Structure 1
């Protein structure tokens, strides 16, 4: 699975992490829906860190389609309401 973190590049992440990433994504959707900015930021950073720590960063010269695009960690709560809705970034 190829995941792009906006502004930071692409990572090849094992498919076995899907459930963990999906769980974090679902929490982010819930927190954004409640307007809980502090916890939203914590979970978004957690999502990014799981991708970075478990994924292999691809060379910037590689052109590979991303399966998932994760917004940058400085994404505002207002902007997040447009992205983290319904099933979020990852679909079951």
Structure 2
């Protein structure tokens, strides 16, 4: 799966990593619902770090369709709320 982190680029990520990412996504959603800004920041950073660590960056000149778009590291609660689907940021 091709994942885009806004403002950074794309990474290719194997589907086998989505259990870990979904766990972080669930945690992020809980923190957003409770208004825990510090927890939100920590978990968003952990989610993006996991994508970077587990994925393989695509070359800057590659323009593959992104199957998943994640917010920039500096995104605030309102920006991320606008990106949420029924399952959070990551479907499944």
Q: TM-score, normalised by structure 2?
A: 0.92
Range 79-88 or range 35-44, more displaced? 79-88
Please give the root-mean-square deviation of Cα atoms over the aligned residues, in Å.
1.2
Sort the Cα spacing of 1:10 and 1:74 in 2 relative to 1 into closer, same or farther, 3 A: same
Alpha-carbon distance, 1:85 to partner: 5.6
CA contact (8 A) 2:85 2:91 kept: no
CA contact (8 A) 2:12 2:57 kept: yes
What is residue 28 of structure 1 aligned with on the other side? 28
Distance (Å, rounded) in 2 between the aligned partners of 1:7 and 1:78: 17
Q: TM-score, normalised by structure 1?
A: 0.92
Aligned residue pair count: 92
CA contact (8 A) 1:2 1:68 kept: yes
Distance (Å, rounded) in 2 between the aligned partners of 1:63 and 1:79: 24
Runs of 4+ in 1 over 6 A off after TM superposition: none
Q: 5+ residue gaps in structure 1?
A: none
